[in-house]
């Protein structure tokens, strides 16, 4: 599809830069957000405003949702003024949120009843990846729909992988979040250990990032820990929501995830300390408290 009309729902940390990239690519985008103020930068950049998810969907060839959690996706699609209320036959709906695989399948069934097509396409790469248009996109759905979605995916993402039928994108994203969570814990522990034994943390990060321990988490989160930058590339509240979904899915599948459970509890300690809206690198604060350090 050449230059489809895009409807976009959700203008948070990820949604705003993703829509900005679509506008910069010359695509026509109509946006809806529960808080209009969050969409104002996009309206100034050329996006149109819709008063509801249904209104954003009415004239769209492709409708994209990027919201917080499974209940949000259900409300956006199935509510009285939701996507399905005005979905036209053949419209492609793409949910790029991270939600439960069961939610993705249930919403896909309702979209199909209305004659639409559905993809679950969660992303990885955080705010920096969204701004650069280099997100990794994990897609579940029919292959022909993935190809059709390239008009969006190729603008906001750098890597697009078709992971299988609907729900497979979400399951793959849960694997991603398990890996991210445990990498986050490793960086936090190494950082606090270095502090406690008297190492210069910048020197430690410089050399460990060049060897077998090198990782995206070390390069991006370790450096922010060192500079005291806890602004979110991805918020603790969202990371812990994703880990909750992973643990629920694992329980249903009979898979033990002991490391993921630990990370979930450590991030819950951040949340209890009022740090849920900080970036995930703020886990280091929990580990520092456990080590008896001033935070």
Residue 192 exposure: Cα atoms within 13 Å on the Cβ side:
20
Annotated catalytic residue: which of 173, 196, 241, 285? 173
* Look-up of token digits 């809206």: 277
DSSP the chain: --S--EEEE--STTHHHHHHHHHHTT--EEEE-SSHHHHHHHHHTTPEE-SSHHHHHHT-SEEEE--SSHHHHHHHHHSTTSHHHHPPTT-EEEE-S---HHHHHHHHHHHHHTT-EEEE--EESHHHHHHHT-EEEEEES-HHHHHHTHHHHHHHEEEEEEEESTTHHHHHHHHHHHHHHHHHHHHHHHHHHHHHTT--HHHHHHHHTTSTT--HHIIIIIHHHHHT----SSBHHHHHHHHHHHHHHHHHHT---HHHHHHHHHHHHHHHTT-TTSBGGGHHHHHHHHTT---
Residue 136 near residue 125 (C-beta atoms within 8 A): yes
Instruction: State how far the Cα of 99 lies from the Cα of 77, in Å rounded to an integer.
Output: 13
173 is catalytic: yes
Which residues are annotated as catalytic?
A: 173
């Amino acid at each position: 599809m050449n230059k489809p009309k895009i409807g976009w729902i959700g203008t948070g940390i990820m949604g705003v830069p993703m829509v900005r990239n679509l506008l910069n690519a010359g695509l026509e985008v109509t946006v809806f957000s529960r808080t209009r103020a969050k969409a104002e930068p996009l309206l100034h950049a050329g996006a149109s405003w819709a008063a509801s998810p249904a209104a954003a969907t009415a004239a769209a060839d492709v409708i994209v949702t990027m919201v917080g959690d499974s209940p949000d996706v259900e409300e956006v699609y199935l509510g009285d003024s939701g996507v399905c209320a005005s979905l036209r036959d053949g419209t492609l709906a793409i949910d790029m949120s991270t939600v439960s695989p069961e939610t993705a399948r249930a919403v896909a069934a309702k979209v199909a009843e209305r004659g639409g097509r559905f993809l679950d396409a969660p992303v990885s790469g955080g705010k920096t990846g969204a701004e650069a248009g280099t997100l990794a996109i994990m897609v579940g759905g029919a292959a022909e729909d993935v190809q059709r979605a390239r008009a969006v995916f190729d603008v906001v993402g750098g890597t697009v992988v078709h992971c299988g039928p609907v729900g497979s994108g979400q399951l793959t994203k849960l694997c991603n979040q398990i890996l991210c969570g445990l990498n986050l814990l490793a960086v936090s522990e190494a950082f606090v250990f270095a502090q406690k034994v008297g190492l210069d943390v910048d020197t430690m990060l410089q050399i460990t990032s060049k060897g077998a321990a090198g990782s995206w988490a070390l390069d991006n989160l370790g450096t922010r820990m060192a500079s005291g930058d806890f602004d979110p590339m991805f918020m603790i509240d969202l990371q812990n929501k994703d880990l909750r979904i992973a643990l629920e899915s694992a329980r249903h599948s009979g898979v033990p995830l002991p490391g993921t459970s630990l990370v979930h509890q450590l991030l819950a300690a951040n949340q209890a300390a009022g740090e849920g809206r900080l970036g995930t690198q703020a886990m280091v604060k929990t580990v520092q408290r456990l080590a008896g350090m001033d935070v």
